[in-house]
Amino acid sequence: MSHKHGNNPFKKHHEENENIENEQLNETVEQDSETPVEDNNSELEKLKEDYDKLNNQYLRLAADFDNYRKRQEAERENLLKFGLENAMKKMLEVLDNFDRGEKALANVEDCQQVKDSFNLVHKQTEEALTKLGLELIEAENQEFDPNFHEAVMRTPTEEHPENTVISVLQKGYKMGDKVLRPALVNVAAND
């Protein structure tokens, strides 16, 4: 039995669909191949322009930041220099008073006058340093605080509560919140 394929209605329909699909594919390929290379080039040029623009912005921003960093560094150095200069000016007054005191006491035999002069200069020194921000750390009769005090002795006693500073062996100082030197203290112990 021989079959004639030419009379098969399903085959004709299948061939027609293939032909339509091939035509559509060919049209799409032709459209893609007809898309001008110029469109791709213009897109590439636009991307290149955007890249150059962003790169220039980045370079300007980097330069601005570098200049800012240099200005901040110079300003910090000026502040330190000015702060030191201000401190030196305040201490010059103290030196002047030491010089005056030395001259005034050259021929003095009265011990009380020497004490008064010494106390005056000492007070002026403390005032000058206080104006610069120096603060005395209160310690005596305070509860021991390792942030501000350094215990160099512990003395057994029942006169003071435990961990109370009995005496200050060396004064402590701070500037603002920064401890420059902790107070050396004797702390009460209840043994």
Give the H or E element holding residue 189: strand 183-189
Residue spans in the chain of domains classed CATH 2.30.22.10:
135-191
Among 22-31, 71-80, 119-128, the minimum mean pLDDT is found in 22-31
Residue spans in the chain of domains classed CATH 3.90.20.20:
35-132
pLDDT band at 77 (very low <50, low <70, confident <90, very high): confident
Instruction: Give residue-wise pLDDT tens across range 61-70.
Output: 999 999 999 9
Q: What single string gives the DSSP state of each residue in 77-101?
A: HHHHHHHHHHHHHHHHHHHHHHHHH
Instruction: Give residue-wise pLDDT tens across range 90-128.
Output: 777 777 777 777 777 777 777 887 788 788 888 888 888
Fold of 35-132: Hemagglutinin Ectodomain; Chain B (3.90.20)
Helices then strands, each counted (H, E), the chain: 3, 6
Q: Domain 135-191: state its class.
A: mainly beta
Share of the chain above pLDDT 90, in %: 31
Q: What is the pLDDT of residue 8?
A: 55
Distance of alpha carbon 142 from alpha carbon 97, whole angstroms:
35
Instruction: Provide CB contacts within 8 A for 184, sequence distance 6+.
Output: 149, 150, 152, 168, 169, 170, 172
Asked whether residue 45 carries a pLDDT value surpassing 60, the answer given is yes
Q: What is the pLDDT of residue 34?
A: 47
Distance of alpha carbon 109 from alpha carbon 89, whole angstroms:
32
Distance of alpha carbon 182 from alpha carbon 137, whole angstroms:
8
Distance of alpha carbon 132 from alpha carbon 146, whole angstroms:
25
- Are 175 and 155 in contact by the 8 Å Cβ rule? The answer is no
Residue 184's alpha-carbon distances to 73, 167, 174, in angstroms, are: 37, 9, 14
